[in-house]
Structure formats: structure tokens, C-alpha cells
Structure 1
Amino acid sequence: MTRMIVICIFISVITPLIVPSTETMTRMIVMHIYFSTNALDRPWHRANDTDARNEKARKAYEALMTITIRKPTSPEFTQFSEEVKRTASELYPNVSYGDGQVNSFVGAFYDAVILYGLALNETLAANGNVSDGSAITQRMWNRTFEGITGMVYIDENGDRDSDFSLLDMDPQTGKFEVVANYYGVQQYYEPVPGKSIHWAGGRVNPPPDTPECGFDGSRCRDKEYFPTYAIVLLVLGSAMLVVLVTLLSVYRARFRDVLQRWCTGRSRDHMTFRLR
């Protein structure tokens, strides 16, 4: 029976959570929601751990998939990322971004400022007040504009329709890589060409929408062996029944003896009465 577990936690917390269940992980799919694009390519590996423990963690991670915000790939964002890292190194010499791009949330903050500027300019152009937060906010909703992270879509509720990526671990390399993307506005799922999902337990197909035994196992209860608690109850019930039958037999014998003596005594009294 396959079960799906959805978790939203720090990447460092996953290993001690799923490794103790390595034997059952082949029957599970763990969806990890990770609000960052800087996910580690080998999150199961610990440099200060033993090879045996790392291999066990790697085996458990075969059942793990990560959903994260889609990383922008445009040349504009690449240039933006380099400028942010250069500015950060000048202002904060002790902080380093490394060789990779900056987190997409940095670009999202940048786009948020652009959105605010667009709404503010439109409000002023309509003779509005710069202090009228409600009017400015209303102009942010239900609109689309080109941001540093790509096209930004804000719906009628003020929520952004984001794009997401699905990462899966390649069992050969042990590295997590993007295997599919989901585009929020189009509501479209697109596999990455040349990539495929490696299902845990040697499966070649995804698990069914509804597990064979149901999500609570109720469909397979008639196939299961007698549960332990039922056996205990059956033994206790049988013992109590034996005790009850024994007590009834003892009391029945004593009652019959008492009744017989009582009847014998009554007969003697009756005979004496008749003789008199």
C-alpha cells in the first residue's frame, strides 16, 4: 500500500525524520515543500557522517521529491544576480553567496518594489493620495507585468500565481535535479525533456490516486491476520467464560443439595403431622 506524505520543513530536518523508516520508504512518497531555489543537490549527504549512514540516508531519499519555486533562467536574472552579489560583497565583505545565483526571493522582493512603483504612479496619475494605501493596493491586484524573475501575475485576490519545479533524485548519481515544471497561470505541468521520475521501490509507474487498501487501510482489513488486540480479547473472554461456567456449576450443585435437604425436611414434617 502506497502512502503520500507532504511535509514543509527545513532541509536539514528531513534526514533524521525519514532515515529511521528506510524499510518502509519504498512504499511511501514524501513530497517536500521547500520555499527556496537553492536546494542542495545531495541533501542526504553529511560530510561528518559515516559512509554506511550516508548510504542508508541515500536509500531513504529515493522516495523523496522536492517542490520548490522555479528558478529563473533568463539572462536578465543572471545579470541581476551578479549585480546583487557584487553589491553585497562591497557592503558586507563577510557575506558570500558562493558560485550560484542568488535566491529567487531576492528577485521577488525586487519585483515587489516594481509592482508598488507601478501602482503608486497610476494612483498619482489619477490624482490619488500617496497615503491612500487601499487605492494603491487595489491597483496591484489583477494585473500582469514583466519583472526581473519573468512575467509576474497577480490575481484578483492579490496573490501571485507562481511557477514551481519538481526535483527528484537520480539513483545513479544521487543528485536531485529538476524533472518537471508547473506553470501557475496556465496550470500546466511540463516534464523536462530527457528527465524522468525515479519511483521508489523499483516502480516504473506512479502509484494510483487511491491506494489499493485505501488511505486508512480499511479496504484490506479483511485480508489482514487477526490483530493482536483481538487475540488478547478472545483469550480473556474465553477464560472469563470458563470461570463463569465453573462458578455456575458449583453454585448449581450446592443449590441442588440445599434444595434436596430442604425438601427432605419438609417431607418428614408432613409425615409427622399426618401420624399425629
Structure 2
Amino acid sequence: MHYLEEIKSVARVVLIIAHGSRIRSIMLAASDMQMTNGDYVYFAFEPFQNPQVVGNMTWRSGNLDGRDEDARMAFRSLFKISPPVRYEENPEYRNFTQAIKQLTNEKYGYPLSDQEEVSPSAMAYYFATSIYGQVVSEMAKSGSGGDPHDGAAVSRLMWNRTYTILGQEIFINVSGDRESDWVLSQPDVNGNFKPIMEYSARQRILQPSRDPLDNSIRQIVWPNKRSSPPLNEPLCGYRGTKCVSGDGGGRNTVGGVVADVLQGTASWQQGSPIQNALNSTVDLIQQFFSVFNQYRRILHI
């Protein structure tokens, strides 16, 4: 794949937005080009779980091409960004979506399995209608004389608030845009994606995930001999032109700082340059997740 050759000369962090069924072939191609040895990091976006719509992001193919093991190893360099699934554990939400699945099958002949999610677009319409109804009801009860037909006025009353609907928190920011929570996942030793970081849009907090079995903090596993994140740029530059004779020293990288933040192992003194760097790094990561909120709004999901 020619674009992987281009990436070699300009980047070490790769963002993939593609159908889930394409991720495996992309990662295998990267593996064939020696780009999954720990010197590159890949992020893929999964807006929701529905193989019929967004594909299935997995290395498994039933070994039809004899390369499942190669794919599993390549996926060690891949991180998945997706919405959290914790609200699905809420009985109210689960019962509601089950009713939708039943109606979808009976009335429109479109069956959804238990593993498939109801389209976020459909749920977004329901959330929007519920929020509108709540705000109009508040206007009527307050006796403020507000006009429910004044769309701009009603809309402003929705801003900078968090709504709980079907057990899920819906956050509308000060500009009237919905911001979503995100989860960063990485394959475990068996190749199954497990959450390692969680981003709260309302609190603007990025924090490590915990293992539900023992409540321990999950650690990022870097697939290289150093067991550390790759350099943001090779020591001699992407094209090998930045090295001078005798210059073999290391280089401080944002990647190294990010690793400390994500794994919760950094230590510093208040007000120190290290703390300032870490704070800046957290802001950058949060901005990175915000990009996906913008992308989600563009796709109306």
C-alpha cells in the first residue's frame, strides 16, 4: 500500500478511519513493511458496534489466508477509539434498545443480533427529542413566559448542561454541541480489545481504565524491545538527514511523557517544568479525543 510508504517519511503515529473489515489488511501490509515492530503507533476509530454497517475490527479471519497469527501480532501496535459501553449495562437502556430491535425486525424486516448496537443516529434522535421535551416542560413550569416556538431561545436553554437519559449522560457544551465520552482500547495477550484509557467530555478528564476483576490500573503494552512508546521522530530524522558525526544521544519526546501520563507512573513536584509538560500533554490528548467528537457530529452519529 503506497500510503504506508509515504507515512514512513513523515510520521510515526497513524490515524485510520476506515471500514472495520479493512483494518486487518492495513495492519498486515504494515507488518510486511516492518512497520509493526514498535516504532509506529496506529489508532483506529469505531463509532459503534455493528458489523453490517461499520465492519468488524478484528485480526481473526478463521485463518482463511493462513495469516491470523501475523495479524494478531500486528494488532499489538493498534489502539481502538470507541464510545464507552458502560451505559449498555443499564437495564433501562438495554430494555429500550431491545424493544427497538424487536420493532425493527417485525416492522421493517431488519434483524439485529444481541451483539449489534442500535444505530447511534437513531438513538441521537431519541435523545434530542427527550432533551427538547424536558426543556419545554421546564419553560412551562417556570412561568417565565418563554415561547416554546422560539427555537433559538429553547436551544440556548439546552446549552452547558448534562442530561441523564436511559442511564446515559448526554453533555451539551457552552456552544450547543454535544460532546461524547471516548474509550481507548488495546488488544490483550489473546488479541481481545480491552479498555486502557477513558475520556470524560463533561469533566474533560483522561484517566486510566481499571481491571474489573481486581480494580488494578491497566497498563499500555508497547510492542518493542524497549517496552516504551516510539519516538515522535527518528533520532536521525525521517529521511536520516539530521544526524551529525558522534551524535548518538537520545532525545526527549512527547511520546515518553505521554507514556508516563497514561500509565500513571509519572512523579513530579508542584510547579516544576515536568509538571507543566505533563499538563500540556494531557491537554493535547484531550484535544485528540475532541477531534473524534467533531468527526462524530459531522457524520451525525
TM-score range, shorter chain: 0.5 to 0.7
Match of 1:180 in 2: 197
Distance 1:101 1:20, change over 3 A: closer
Equivalent AA in structure 1 for residue 149 of structure 2: S
Instruction: Give the alignment of 1:98-117 within 5 angstroms.
Output: 98-100=113-115, 102-103=117-118, 105=120, 106-117=122-133
Identical residues among aligned pairs (%): 25
Please give the alpha-carbon distance, in whole angstroms, between the structure 2 residues aligned to 1:38 and 1:146. 24
**Counterpart for residue 257 of structure 1:** none
1: CA distance between counterparts of 2:56 and 2:192? 5
Q: Return the structure number with greater helix share.
A: 1
User: How far is 1:123 from its partner?
Assistant: 4.7
User: May I ask how many residue pairs the two structures share in their alignment?
Assistant: 220
Which consecutive residues of structure 2, in runs of 5 or more, have no partner in the other structure?
1-7, 247-301
Code of the residue aligned with 2:104 in structure 1: it is: A
- The within-5 A match list for 1:1-276 is 3-22=12-31, 23-26=34-37, 27-38=39-50, 43-47=58-62, 49-51=64-66, 53-71=67-85, 72=87, 73-92=89-108, 94-100=109-115, 102-103=117-118, 105=120, 106-123=122-139, 126-170=144-188, 172-186=189-203, 187-193=205-211, 194=216, 195-207=218-230, 210-211=232-233, 213=235, 216=238, 220-222=242-244
1:36 to partner: Cα distance: 1.4
> Given that residues 181 and 192 in structure 1 are in contact (C-alpha distance below 8 angstroms), is that contact kept between their aligned partners in structure 2?
no
SS at match of 1:35: coil
CA distance in 2, matches of 1:212, 1:30: 17
Relative to the length of structure 1, the TM-score reads 0.67
Computing the radius of gyration from Cα coordinates, the structure with the larger value is: 1
SS at match of 2:170: strand
Secondary structure of 2:80's counterpart equals strand
Structure 2 distance, partners of 1:104, 1:185, is: 23
The alpha-carbon deviation at position 166 of structure 1 amounts to 1.2
RMSD: 3.1
Partner of 1:236: none
Distance 1:38 1:95, change over 3 A: closer
Tell me if the contact between 1:81 and 1:101 (Cα under 8 Å) persists in the aligned partners: no
What's the secondary structure of 2:195's corresponding residue? strand
Give unmatched runs, 5+ long, in structure 1. 225-276
Q: CA 1:215 to 1:14, structure 2 compared with 1: closer, same or farther past 3 Å? A: farther
Is the contact made by 2:47 and 2:82 (CA closer than 8 Å) also made in structure 1?
Answer: yes
1: CA distance, partners of 2:99 / 2:170: 21
